[in-house]
Amino acid sequence: MLLAIGITSIIGAAIASMMAAATNSLSANDDGRQSAIRLATTQVRLGAYIAPSFCILDKGDSFLTLWTEDSRESDTVHASEVRWIQFDSETKELIVLFVDFPDDWSQSMIDAVDIECTSMTNYESLLTELRSDDVVDSISLVDAMVSCSFWTNNTEPLDATRVCIRFSFETSFGKTTDSIVDETIRIHHQPSEQQ
């Protein structure tokens, strides 16, 4: 009888350890799937901003400033045509900032704030000024990022046509290995005053 109880407890312990291993394996696979989905989402969302942009206006280690359209058809950059992509290490998010004028503003109010940029424009200062006017909105592109840095194929942002983004995610198992997304500006075009 004692032998039967001993064998039963050994078999029970073996079954419990196999179930724990299976649970850990499923959890790891689920975390891997979530990381793969985040990677694909990051690539698609960054590509949606970078690929159709005209050019890169400014770049730092954790931010990228893009001229995305020429809505005024002036071949010059206006504040409303700029997108700032930034990594916020505090919130662990990659965000895009853009100008969003209030619906109740008149066209003359919009024209006063939607300034035309030149080659001397400091885009970080412009963003700060627009924030003080309360006309900047943001969208989170990706969350749970631990690190993010930007590189371009040219040290002069206006001449760059390729962007490389290196980043890692935070998961339930810790920090992922770094991932890299490369994206190319499809039709590179500099503003007329900066050519």
Quick one: average pLDDT of 44-51? Answer: 94
CA distances from 161 to 59, 87, 164, 185 (A): 12, 20, 10, 5
Distance, CA of 96 to CA of 66 (rounded, Å): 10
Distance, CA of 73 to CA of 61 (rounded, Å): 31
Does the pLDDT at position 1 exceed 90? no
Summarised one tens digit per residue, pLDDT across range 97-153 is 999 999 999 999 999 999 999 999 999 999 999 999 999 999 999 998 999 999 999
Distance, CA of 115 to CA of 90 (rounded, Å): 30
The percent of residues above 70 in pLDDT, for the chain, comes to 82
Summarised one tens digit per residue, pLDDT across range 73-106 is 999 999 999 999 999 999 999 999 999 999 999 9
Please name the residue ranges forming H helices in the chain. 2-50, 107-113, 123-132
Distance, CA of 162 to CA of 64 (rounded, Å): 12
What is residue 14's predicted lDDT score, i.e. its pLDDT? 61
pLDDT band at 27 (very low <50, low <70, confident <90, very high): very low
Distance, CA of 163 to CA of 150 (rounded, Å): 7
pLDDT band at 38 (very low <50, low <70, confident <90, very high): confident
Does the pLDDT at position 194 exceed 90? no
Q: How many CA atoms lie within 13 A of 86 on its CB side?
A: 16
Summarised one tens digit per residue, pLDDT across range 8-26 is 667 666 666 666 655 554 4
What is residue 2's predicted lDDT score, i.e. its pLDDT? 58
Does the pLDDT at position 158 exceed 70? yes
What is residue 176's predicted lDDT score, i.e. its pLDDT? 85
